[in-house]
Amino acid sequence: MILDFNENKPVAVVLGAGAMAMAIVRRVAAGAKVLLGDVSEKNLERAAEAMRFNGYDVETMVVNALDKEQVYAFAAKAAELGDVMWFIDTAGASPSQATPQFIIDLDLIGTSYALDAFGPVMAKGGAGLVVSSQAGWMGHFTEEEENTLALTPTDELRDLPMLQPDVVTGSGKAYIVAKRANHLRVRTAAATTWAASHARVNTISPGIVMTPVAYDEFNAPGNTYQHMIEAGACQRVATPDEIATAAEFMLSAPFVTGTDLLIDGGTIAAMRSGAYEGRRDRR
């Protein structure tokens, strides 16, 4: 049975076919060819099947975002399928899932390779979205550190003194650096490789969203997550669909590029204003 007679369909690409990415891609990819990439064959098949049963035209490719060659091969496959109009990158590990070095390798360096690989294959008018985190707003970096994170070529990131294990001593710290670097490197990509393709690229920085990653964090020792949920004005976690509403805006707003949208229910506002510490102290 032919379900769609259209040819030359636009292509929507997902790297990291998890809960948030699926909620996002469903918003933009009706009528498109969808290419899903993930390191886990199981996640990939589950996500593809769910989309197919909802009428989407889906292809899959096993790809490890840690591996530069695989990421470039994934971008080449996307370009073979047609005009790449959307790229959504959520391949990442959170602090309780991985060591500091793994987080630097995946969330920072892997994401950078994905930006490098996809910039040149994007179609004119296309849009990219990297899922960073509210953690990207939790650190305090000097201007020099931010410029280093923003401008160092991806192949040289691993050798930066500020990313060595004796400096990035914990997974939480690594996550904050990596997610801030996502903002900064997307800004650079928006002005260079992606601008050359006349495509836009942005980050979103979600707060706590109910996905498998969040469940892992809730099982971590301490009450930090509980405090963060309570601290924001919304006083609850987000759903992937709420994040997708904001993501859809970033993917479709034609003049928005090189910037970040914080979607955290007010947690960072509470932290930066002192309200977060106040609430904690009153308990």
Structure tokens of 176? 């904050």
Q: Give strand pairing partners of 204.
A: 131, 261
Is the Cβ of residue 93 or residue 122 nearer to ligand NAD in the bound state?
93
Residue number closest to ligand NAD, CB atom: 18
Q: Which of 179, 215, 225, 276 is catalytic?
A: 179
Question: Which of residues 90, 112, 148, 257 is near ligand NAD by CB under 6 A?
Answer: 90
| Smallest distance, ligand NAD to C-beta of residue 241, A | 12
| Smallest distance, ligand NAD to C-beta of residue 283, A | 23
Is the Cβ of residue 92 or residue 128 nearer to ligand NAD in the bound state?
92
CA distance 247 to 260: 11
Spell out, one character per residue from 181 to 220, where the chain touches ligand NAD: x when CB under 6 A holds, - when not.
-------------------------x-xx-xxxx------
| Smallest distance, ligand NAD to C-beta of residue 8, A | 28
Of 52-60, 89-97, 143-151, 268-276, the segment contacting ligand NAD by CB under 6 A is 89-97
| Smallest distance, ligand NAD to C-beta of residue 48, A | 12
The pairs formed by 187-193 with CB atoms below 8 angstroms and a separation of 24 or more are 187/150, 187/258, 187/259, 188/150, 188/151, 189/115, 189/116, 189/119, 189/258, 190/257, 190/258, 190/259, 191/258, 192/119, 193/115, 193/116, 193/119, 193/120
Structure tokens of 151? 């401008």
| Smallest distance, ligand NAD to C-beta of residue 15, A | 6
Spell out, one character per residue from 135 to 174, where the chain touches ligand NAD: x when CB under 6 A holds, - when not.
----------------------------------------
Spell out, one character per residue from 4 to 33, where the chain touches ligand NAD: x when CB under 6 A holds, - when not.
------------xxxxxx------------
Asked if 43 is part of the footprint of ligand NAD (rule: CB under 6 A), the reply reads: yes
Cβ–Cβ under 8 Å, residues 276 and 216: no
Question: Which of residues 50, 66, 73, 256 is near ligand NAD by CB under 6 A?
Answer: 66
* Residues near 130 by beta carbon (within 8 Å), at least 6 away in sequence: 89, 111, 114, 115, 182, 186, 201, 202, 203, 204
Tokens 């102290």, located at residue: 281
CA distance 40 to 45: 9
Tokens 């390779």, located at residue: 113
Q: Do the strands 11-15 and 84-89 form a parallel or antiparallel pair, or are they unpaired?
A: parallel
Question: Which of residues 48, 85, 92, 187 is near ligand NAD by CB under 6 A?
Answer: 92
| Smallest distance, ligand NAD to C-beta of residue 131, A | 4
CA distance 150 to 78: 26
- Asked about 179 being catalytic, the answer comes back as yes
CA atoms within 13 A on the CB side of 132: 32
Q: Which of 56, 72, 175, 276 is catalytic?
A: 175
Structure tokens of 34? 């969808």
Asked if 38 is part of the footprint of ligand NAD (rule: CB under 6 A), the reply reads: yes
Cβ–Cβ under 8 Å, residues 130 and 186: yes
Contacting residues toward ligand NAD, per CB under 6 A: 16-21, 38-40, 43, 63-66, 90-92, 94, 106, 131, 133, 206, 208-209, 211-214
Residues belonging to the active site: 175, 179
